[in-house]
Structure 1
């Protein structure tokens, strides 16, 4: 696979830039180097950005698992469905000190 992280010179703004993808995510950056003669420095900086992008892609993510509606419905039924909901609601209401209605 060809390395696609090499910097290129943007003529109009006069800076080095990179444009590559890692794991489907696009990385477009202008490098803070405004001298066309500093290609070696731009290459080292671009390689660092590329390595950081791959480190981010390969790092284990701490994201939560998304539960589908079907999975949530199965969990609801396994927990007792509507009856379990009503029992838990009654227990919650019984624990609260609710004012009673006075009869006139």
Structure 2
């Protein structure tokens, strides 16, 4: 299932949380550079600003952030996290949470 298909499914079942599983525990800004920072809880405005700043790789986390932002705009909350930390992410203690 593509991210677009998964997004549509989440809308169809009226999901309030959209979780995207990735190989990373968190989304980072300034990745691999001085000032690298893991994002834990960010607002829609902050997330959109980071996208505009090209903080996320087009071939990696960028598309995931764009879909997460779109879902959070409509339903309130999206999470990007690793499979190993999905349970903690649902509790709010792991992953990157994009909150409307």
Task: Provide the TM-score with structure 2 as the length reference.
Answer: 0.23
**Of Structure 1 and Structure 2, which has the larger fraction of its residues in strand?**
2
Task: Provide the TM-score with structure 1 as the length reference.
Answer: 0.23
Greater RCO, CA 8 A, separation 6+? 2
Greater C-alpha Rg: 1
